[in-house]
Structure 1
Amino acid sequence: MATVAVIDEVNAANVRRHVETIVTEIPHRAAGSANGKRMAEYSCAAMKEAGVADTRVHELPAIVSFPEHADFAVRSPAQISIQANTLGHSTLTMPEGITGDLVYVGSGAFADYEGKDVRGKIILTELSYSPARHEKQRIAALMGAIGCVMMNWGHPENEAVPFGSVKPVWGNPTPENYDTEMATLPCIGISRAAGLKLKDMCAEGPVRVWLKTHVENGWRPVQITVGEIALDESPEPGDFVLVGGHQDSWPGEAATDNAAGNACMIELARVFNQHRGELRRGLVFGFWTAHETGTMAGSSWFADRNWDKLRDHAVTYFQIDQPACVGTTRWATASNAELKSFHERIEKQLLGGREYYWKRAAKSGDSSFFGLGIPMFHGQGAFTEQELKDTALATLGWWHHSIENKLDKLDWDWMQVHLQVYAAYLWELCTAPVLPFAYRPVADQILARLDELAAAGEPVGLASVAAKAKEFAAATDRLDALAESWRAKFAAGDGDEDAARALNGAFKKLSHMLVTLQSSAKGTYGQDTYGYTPQTTMIPCLYDIPQLGKLPDGEERWMLETKLVRDRNRVADTIADALAVIGDAERTLV
């Protein structure tokens, strides 16, 4: 079988060759820099060498950041100088810097501020992704803080000083969000060892600190690389799977983040191009930029400028970022729920008994396509729960976003397994007559969330939405069964292309509606800020419903209720439209 062929043909040695070249010849691949452009050109040349002739570099303007070191010191109860980095898109302090009392606020989420007054103070927070740096900064500003100090993750003795960005705006800002969503505070990163000492000092009594940032923020020309394996003939002309990963990086080698991901993309392109005559759907490979210092400016630009093509023909987005980190022993996949059964079947087959687990895809990495409603997923090695507990949730390794991210942080035997799993994912998505989607899991997530909100949602009429969602769940059972029956017919050699096109067309329409509902507060034509707290929940536009019951009658409650009624209507319309799509498919195929 060809699926066995592509699994056997991918080779981690080729990935290693590319990674070694990238990290030695093109370190610090910052968006808007000479090396950022060189990396885009390298990706283009490598893709063409792999046989993907239709590959080109696109230049675009983006607001990016060039942070440098930061000056940081404890003023009392002792005089201590601490090594620090300015975080990307931090505001620039005045030449004299800023001074303030230091307050430890845990992970920096809203709940961590309960009982703490940080107005006019500088906060000390963990660097975990709960929430992300960008959201920590946004929340700190809302709480009245004047600056942020973020301590690295890792073991308590970790001396690595982190890089990172704090720009909440997803992609380039607009006239509407420039003044409301760009970073407004000076922010710095320090090592975990230094941060824990400061945390202990805060527990003992008042701590006063001084900091000064050094950063240049501004518009620069940046480059993305896009290669396409288009098909001469197909039962579904123009349809494709989008594969993406960022090619910009922080100072140093940045071997795992994301030289390894880019090299995997090149190797997958090489193998799949050799089998293009066997594919039903093509492949588009996007090497994004301004991920690190522009908060997804490259991938969001691609989404905006290729809207019609993506809307009509993209069936899935597969993201590759930081595969095969050394020390990871299990497998983690994040996906929109309609993809879960598909990728878990492959993981069970190919991971050799390793533990694998799933979580709902959140808006992180270059997930710029939720507004379009393209279902996405990404999978890679993961640390054990105990390792995460011991390293302050260092999901991407203690070296992540630091000068210590070197070639020795990659496991090449594990990389071969990653490539094989990736090849199997893409083969099925590119060749299955009926796309391997299932919508009952989506319905279950919607039902569960509406049930959680049932009591608090009574004032906005959520009960009738829940009733309609139950109808939708029953309809997804019928649709999934219908799709499975046609998969069996194709497997037996008795398929019908008209039926496959009808089902796949219905799947695309459903995802356009449901992915956006599941994953975006702003909806189809906006981009939520990075790490936005409502994104932690299913149907983020309903996040504030529990707040209603805590508010007395008055202006604040009435304004919130007005907003939430409109969001309730959005959910109701989406479910009704999804029911109509399933009904149309049933009338066509039953």
Structure 2
Amino acid sequence: MGQRLYENGKPSVSGVDATIVDDISADEPWALVERFAELERVSGTDDERSAAAYVTDRLDQFGVDHEVFRPELYLSTPHSASVDTGDGWTAASAKTVSFSADGTAEGELVYVENDDEMESIEAMLSVSLAGLTEDLSGKVVMSESIIPISAIGELADRGAEAFVGIHPHDREPHEGIVTPVWGGAPPYDERERIPDLLVANVSASDGHELRERAAEGTEVTVAAETTTEWQTAPLVLATIEGEAAPENDEFVLAHGHYDSWHVGVTDNATGDAALLELARVLDEHSEALRRDVWVAWWPGHSTGRYAGSTWFTDEFAVDLAENCVAHVNIDSPGVADATEYDERVKWMAAVHDVAAETIADVSGKATAEFRPARAGDYSFNNLGIPGMSLQSSIPESIREQRGYHPVGGSGGHADAWHLTTDTIKKADPEVLERDTEVYTLATARLSRAARPADPIRTIDRLASIAAEYDAASTFDLGPVLDELDALRDAATALLADAEGYPQTADRLVKALTRLNFVTEGQFEQDPAESRPPLPRLAPVERLPELDGDDARFLELQLHRARNGVVAELRRLRRTL
């Protein structure tokens, strides 16, 4: 390994932090990785059940309290796919995706160029349909995209027969899921959001062949086989009681998915291993914890759009809303060569200090704060629970040298994420041990902190966003900024007079987190589509592009949104 794991040679921690970090070893985590590397842990399968049994067996050996739930989840398992042209050519790499329609479709192959440069995972999740005719009946649309979630519904509405995505990987397309429905199963009155379009993906090399044939004009036949049904899958929850403040009902949730595409070593056997070691070590140090720690292994992440964590959110909604102060999502640690924390780390403003300081104290590495995307088992946004994911990454220079394209996980390893090649060769026990130290210490600090989340920093973040929006057009967001200033003063006074972390501060953080990340209700789930900061006010950035009636209509929308935000901020201030 060319890069150092620790800038200072070892973690710079002392006291209880040092005893926790010193007790972490790679032995137990790597044993889990070796076992999981033999299991294709697709949700609802025997291999997934074997993985859950392995976790519970080890928890039994450690003496860690745990429970196994068996929820019924709405899952879509992709099987086979094919793309054939009229002249007899067949795509060797074709795969379908979860929640593709099941069947066969024929039509004229129409290529639409992706407007983006494909330099980010966000660009790869989008496709502009502006160059296509409104009526796409009889057409099979093709473009460079991993999964254009928002475009799939529009394609179906416009009558397209199928969609073929060209992936950047030259050998095989990445596995994926196409539904925008968070948790897989929609509420009854939103059931029309389940996609009804046949989807197949191909590799870059097959995509090149298809583009040439599309330019000449060709008919294609696209077939996909999927099984979409309710399936039972085990969900493991370990609980560690904090003994330093036994009267405290608050808890921290550490979690990650244990289902996988193929054997999924870096996504997410290594994360499951880190969770197991975290549970072992923190249980041994429970006397130092002020809050309980819940540790969860989710099924249904890959084929159910985070179905396991969504079920858990629904099942324990009130307890989570009232008592969970923060969550730590552990996904894709321990990737070989993932020495840095400068690109893939994500956290919410309220938990900035714990996230940034833990990375610095353990690794000595520079880091940067990135906003969590609407992805990756952040099923707690609507409840307002602040979260973090401290994923290490392969340095950009190494990725460029290897010719990697952007991917959504696996530390940036483009030949691992959601591929058949995500094997044990892509992981490293030394990186896994270092990453486990970071995740375990961050969770312990959230449990031990007098104030695990910071409402003032959260208010400041919202004020910064609102100020940017205010400068983006002539629409006046001054009333929002004034209310944020007043709320900051009130929150500062509250914290100055309070001991510890009062419930009012926790409720304030959660309300402001909802304001910044979601548009739907507290006990609902926003769809699995991008949400800009302060999403109700974000359309203000479009105002300079509009004129006439469209501009007036948007101004009306923004006026009402501003009223709602001001009223919410004023209500919060009055509760302090």
What TM-score range do you get, normalising by the shorter chain?
A: 0.7 to 0.9
TM-score, normalised to structure 1's length? 0.84
Q: What is the distance in 2 between the residues matched to 1:32 and 1:563?
A: 44
Distance change in 2, residues 1:455/1:417 (3 Å): closer
Q: What is the distance in 2 between the residues matched to 1:409 and 1:224?
A: 26
1:279 alignment partner, one of 289, 304, 307: 289
Q: What is the distance in 2 between the residues matched to 1:348 and 1:196?
A: 44
Counterpart AA for 1:177: E
Q: What is the distance in 2 between the residues matched to 1:232 and 1:329?
A: 35
Residue 519 of structure 2 corresponds to which residue in structure 1?
Answer: 521
Specify the SS of the correspondent of 1:100: strand
Residue 87 of structure 1 corresponds to which residue in structure 2?
Answer: 97
Residue 79 of structure 2 corresponds to which residue in structure 1?
Answer: 68
Q: How far 1:365 moved relative to its partner?
A: 0.7
Q: How far 1:300 moved relative to its partner?
A: 1.0
Q: What is the distance in 2 between the residues matched to 1:108 and 1:18?
A: 33
Structure 1 alignment gaps of length 5 or more: 484-497, 585-590
Counterpart AA for 1:527: Q
2:142 alignment partner, one of 121, 124, 140: 124
Q: What is the distance in 1 between the residues matched to 2:49 and 2:202?
A: 29
- Kept in 2, the 8 Å contact 1:102–1:208? The answer is no
- Kept in 2, the 8 Å contact 1:224–1:298? The answer is yes
2:30 alignment partner, one of 16, 24, 40: 16
Q: What is the distance in 1 between the residues matched to 2:300 and 2:564?
A: 32
Residue 20 of structure 2 corresponds to which residue in structure 1?
Answer: 6
- Kept in 2, the 8 Å contact 1:517–1:523? The answer is no
Residue 109 of structure 2 corresponds to which residue in structure 1?
Answer: 101
1:261 alignment partner, one of 271, 285, 288: 271
1:511 alignment partner, one of 509, 512, 517: 509
Counterpart AA for 1:544: P
Percent of paired sites with the same residue: 23
Specify the SS of the correspondent of 1:358: coil
Q: How far 1:422 moved relative to its partner?
A: 1.4
1:432 alignment partner, one of 418, 424, 449: 449
Counterpart AA for 1:82: A
Distance change in 2, residues 1:258/1:475 (3 Å): same
Q: What is the distance in 2 between the residues matched to 1:543 and 1:123?
A: 31
Specify the SS of the correspondent of 1:270: helix
Residue 319 of structure 1 corresponds to which residue in structure 2?
Answer: 329
RMSD over aligned Cα atoms: 2.8
2:368 alignment partner, one of 347, 357, 363: 357
Paired positions, count: 543
Q: How far 1:578 moved relative to its partner?
A: 3.6
Q: What is the distance in 2 between the residues matched to 1:123 and 1:50?
A: 53
Distance change in 2, residues 1:151/1:512 (3 Å): same
Cα deviation 1:45-98 (Å, max 9, x = unaligned): 222222212x1111122211121110112336x83433211111101234xx32
- Kept in 1, the 8 Å contact 2:253–2:326? The answer is yes
1:176 alignment partner, one of 185, 189, 203: 189
Counterpart AA for 2:510: H
Residue 535 of structure 2 corresponds to which residue in structure 1?
Answer: 540
- Kept in 2, the 8 Å contact 1:105–1:123? The answer is no
Q: How far 1:387 moved relative to its partner?
A: 5.3
Q: What is the distance in 1 between the residues matched to 2:159 and 2:543?
A: 24
Counterpart AA for 2:141: I
Specify the SS of the correspondent of 1:499: coil
Q: How far 1:451 moved relative to its partner?
A: 3.0
Q: How far 1:39 moved relative to its partner?
A: 2.6
Q: What is the distance in 2 between the residues matched to 1:456 and 1:280?
A: 44
Residue 120 of structure 2 corresponds to which residue in structure 1?
Answer: none
Cα deviation 1:120-172 (Å, max 9, x = unaligned): 433334445xxx55335345445654322223344xxx313322111210112
Counterpart AA for 2:27: A
Q: How far 1:429 moved relative to its partner?
A: 1.1
2:233 alignment partner, one of 213, 222, 225: 222
Q: What aligned pairs does 1:154-233 form with structure 2 within 5 A after superposition?
A: 154=169, 158-171=170-183, 172-179=185-192, 181-199=193-211, 206=217, 208-231=219-242
- Kept in 2, the 8 Å contact 1:231–1:238? The answer is no
Q: How far 1:116 moved relative to its partner?
A: 4.1
Cα deviation 1:497-546 (Å, max 9, x = unaligned): x71143xx23311122011111112131221111x13x1x1012334344
Q: What is the distance in 2 between the residues matched to 1:45 and 1:566?
A: 55
Q: What is the distance in 1 between the residues matched to 2:235 and 2:71?
A: 8
Residue 466 of structure 2 corresponds to which residue in structure 1?
Answer: 450
Residue 567 of structure 1 corresponds to which residue in structure 2?
Answer: 561
Distance change in 2, residues 1:196/1:349 (3 Å): farther
Specify the SS of the correspondent of 1:404: coil
Specify the SS of the correspondent of 2:188: coil
Counterpart AA for 1:368: S
Residue 414 of structure 1 corresponds to which residue in structure 2?
Answer: 431
Asked if 1:135 corresponds to 2:129, the answer is no
Q: What is the distance in 2 between the residues matched to 1:319 and 1:419?
A: 12
Asked if 1:38 corresponds to 2:30, the answer is no
Q: What is the distance in 2 between the residues matched to 1:442 and 1:282?
A: 24
Distance change in 2, residues 1:303/1:147 (3 Å): same
Counterpart AA for 1:307: A
Cα deviation 1:542-589 (Å, max 9, x = unaligned): 3434445656666x77876665444333322332234335xx3xxxxx
Distance change in 2, residues 1:153/1:384 (3 Å): farther
1:148 alignment partner, one of 144, 150, 163: 163
Q: How far 1:104 moved relative to its partner?
A: 3.4
- Kept in 2, the 8 Å contact 1:457–1:545? The answer is yes
Q: How far 1:319 moved relative to its partner?
A: 0.5
Q: What is the distance in 1 between the residues matched to 2:95 and 2:260?
A: 15
Q: How far 1:230 moved relative to its partner?
A: 2.1
Q: What is the distance in 2 between the residues matched to 1:301 and 1:374?
A: 16
